Amino acid sequence: MKLIVGLGNPGKKYEETRHNVGFMVLDKLAKKLNFSFEKKFNSEFKKERETIYLKPQTFMNLSGQVVKEVAHYYNIDNGNIWIIYDDIDIPLGDWKEKHEGTSAGHKGIDSIIQELGTDEFARLRVGIGRLTIDANEDRKKIVENYVLNKFTPEQIIEIDKVIQSLVEEFIIPKLISNQNGR
């Protein structure tokens, strides 16, 4: 069993914000694979064959609670958990795969590491654009404002392209190869 988690914040206020890229990827995946989510485990949830798709409906910094609950309920090994989320250190229009390590300050990943008791799970980090912050500026406040704001119209075009590519060229082929036993 595989668990694919898209991170974001619930509610209309946060739709299409940079911090909700994980939700955006799962929405695109649901559209491509022709499924819809149901409400379960304090999340938007779908179990299809041997894969669970999950959008926690807690706020970002509590995402680990839902991930832990679902992983334990379905007895999912940490090596079969994929977390998809925004990364401010990756340029807009790019994404990277990672399999373990620190959260690099991402509160959703902090929560998941704390709840699972490990940092050994796959991550698909979607770039939302790098910020240049002056040493005299309040980094925490600037980053928080940036990730909680919506993409510009130009950025939406770019993020849609990277999401499409991630879904069609990486996630779906990986799911198919896993279903075929490879």
What pLDDT band is residue 27 in, cutting at 50, 70 and 90?
Answer: very high
**Residue 168 sits in which domain range?**
2-179
Task: Report which of residues 159 and 182 the model is more confident about.
Answer: 159
Number of domains the chain contains: 1
Cα–Cα distance for residue pair 162/12, rounded to 1 Å: 23
Per-residue pLDDT tens over the stretch 72-127: 999 999 999 999 999 998 999 899 999 988 888 899 999 999 999 999 999 999 99
Cα–Cα distance for residue pair 174/162, rounded to 1 Å: 17
Pair 83, 130: CB distance under 8 Å: no
Cα–Cα distance for residue pair 32/100, rounded to 1 Å: 28
CB under 8 Å, gap of 24 or more: what pairs does 33-36 form? 33/172
Query: pTM for the whole thing?
Result: 0.93
Residue 82 per-residue DSSP state: E
Contact partners, residue 133, CB within 8 Å, separation at least 6: 139, 142, 143
Cα–Cα distance for residue pair 13/150, rounded to 1 Å: 10
Kindly tell me the number of DSSP H helices and DSSP E strands found in the chain: 6, 7
CATH at residue 60? 3.40.50.1470
Q: What are phi and psi of 43, to 5 degrees?
A: -155, 170
pLDDT above 90 coverage of the chain, percent: 75
Pair 66, 54: CB distance under 8 Å: yes
Pair 128, 18: CB distance under 8 Å: yes
Which residues are the active-site residues? Answer: 19
Most confident of 46-60, 93-107, 122-136: 46-60
Within 13 A of 112's CA, how many CA atoms are on the CB side? 31
